Structure 1
């Protein structure tokens, strides 16, 4: 019994000393609705290192966003669930976007730039980036096997959670998970 108590005490101390673990526990505690599809990682995972590009073909890397929480959404113009989800990602960016948080959208596979612009215009999204991963290099490194896939990266640039499929990112359920992650990291 004494060993059990010491193990429990040690585990609790480690969790409190490791904000990444505390983030996940707090977020898991508030999961509801569409967020039930989210998979939280016990330990943060490294992200892909492949470059992707801006709409104008300037190189980018996920490391460019270190220092803030990032919700990375892989999508495509031909993806019906992406069409449904993207306006909610736009609302989330409007509500939370800033120095500490950003929604980053990356069109993966073959998405002609003109079709990307048309896609955003048709659904009324004007505040999210039209970034591209035309060869799916980053998507493959990140094990994106279907679309949409949304990853949550901590300020260290590590993946802490992943949701496959579309979700209501502008709803209270998503906000509760994100608030829990970001609040625990700040404390």
Structure 2
């Protein structure tokens, strides 16, 4: 014959296990629900950029063959940096399609790439499109970086910086930065259209075609 105390303890343990399992399932349901809500919100906000990304796949060729069109909606309008006079600025403050490039003076591929970005800005920069080249040198002042741009003949790009490297780390947290240079195309809705890791000739015919197609896809 079973001891009544033992039976009671067994029943209590069984009830506790069942309750804990129910709690885990409930928390899992809350997590899944919240994830679905967040994903759904981004999808709604990024419809224009995602449509552009889908259309750009055949145009990632030649000099921009390494361009990766976005596979999932990603809002990047919260990325922040500073203007040349030190005023804070975010991607949300800039209209049109943007090509954000993260660079540094000590980055040899960046030195090669910057003149191409400068020519892209000279040819296409305006109300609907701009190259946003953000320097991430960890200097107290921007004198060295500005002198660097003058030395290599860059004159059409506005100077932006983030000496704390927060913009790079924010992109890395979004799995969009593995090194320098890193380039991300951002749509009018503030979402990623696509990214590239490493340098490219952004003034090449393939790059110009890619940018033009991205802009047309959002109209």
Q: How would you bin the TM-score normalised by the shorter chain?
A: 0.7 to 0.9
Number of residues paired by the alignment?
Answer: 168
Does the CA-based 8 Å contact 1:50-1:61 persist in structure 2?
yes
User: 1:100 maps to what in 2?
Assistant: 128
Q: Secondary structure of the residue that 1:104 maps to in structure 2?
A: strand
User: 2:27 maps to what in 1?
Assistant: none
- How much is the aligned-residue C-alpha RMSD, in angstroms? 1.5
User: 1:165 maps to what in 2?
Assistant: 198
Deviation per CA, 1:21-68: give whole Å up to 9, x if none. Answer: 431222111221121111111233111635321222111111111x30
Structure number with greater CO (CA < 8 Å, separation at least 6) is 1
Q: Which structure: greater strand fraction?
A: 1
User: 1:127 maps to what in 2?
Assistant: 156
Does the CA-based 8 Å contact 2:81-2:90 persist in structure 1?
yes
Counterpart among 36, 45, 48 of residue 65 in structure 2? 36
Separation in 2, partners of 1:182, 1:105: 19
Structure 1 unaligned spans of 5+: 1-17
Deviation per CA, 1:150-177: give whole Å up to 9, x if none. Answer: 1100001111111011000000111111
Separation in 1, partners of 2:144, 2:56: 36
Does the CA-based 8 Å contact 1:82-1:148 persist in structure 2?
yes
Q: Which structure: greater helix fraction?
A: 2
Does the CA-based 8 Å contact 2:121-2:130 persist in structure 1?
yes
Does the CA-based 8 Å contact 2:50-2:193 persist in structure 1?
no
**Which runs of 4 or more aligned residues in structure 1 lie more than 2 Å from their structure 2 counterparts after TM superposition?**
18-22, 48-51
Separation in 1, partners of 2:168, 2:77: 8
Which has more radius of gyration?
2
Structure 2 unaligned spans of 5+: 1-46
1:69-108 equivalence runs, <5 A: 69-108=97-136
Q: Secondary structure of the residue that 1:180 maps to in structure 2?
A: helix
